[in-house]
Amino acid sequence: MGRVVFVQADGSKREVEAVDGQSVMQVARANLVPGIVAECGGELSCATCHVYVDEQWVGFLPARSADEVDMLEVAAEEPTECSRLSCQVQFEAVLDGMVVTIPNTQ
């Protein structure tokens, strides 16, 4: 268990509870955090679950798969080095307090 802080494009923040093994997309949806559409339900085929992970947390995440990198290329908002598809990031204790920003558009 731990917490994830979601930041909206307008700067508003919401801290919610996360369970180990849940994807960050599932954490957002379980807590009705707006802005993560997740059209494909986590099948890595929509890129509507794009988030920007705060720089301080990026190093704690496993590397992006080639498929995730490909899908990020078609994200509605320009990806950066901190971009992840939130359905591909599994929450674990080391990520407690992780801050992710949701883009303006998905």
Interaction with ligand FES in 28-87: which residues (CB under 6 A)?
38-40, 42-49, 71, 85, 87
The residue assigned the tokens 């407690």 is 96
Among 18, 24, 25, 75, binds ligand FES (CB under 6 A): 25
Residue among 17 and 41 whose Cβ is closer to ligand FES:
41
Residue among 48 and 95 whose Cβ is closer to ligand FES:
48
Residue among 23 and 57 whose Cβ is closer to ligand FES:
23
Q: Rounded to a whole number, what is the distance in angstroms from the first to the last CA of the chain? A: 28
Minimum distance from residue 76 beta carbon to ligand FES (Å): 12
Contact 71, 51 (CB under 8 A): no
Contact 25, 94 (CB under 8 A): no
Minimum distance from residue 12 beta carbon to ligand FES (Å): 22
The residue assigned the tokens 């509870």 is 17
Alpha helices in 1-106 (DSSP H): 24-30, 55-58, 66-72
| Footprint of ligand FES (CB under 6 A) | 25, 38-40, 42-49, 71, 85, 87
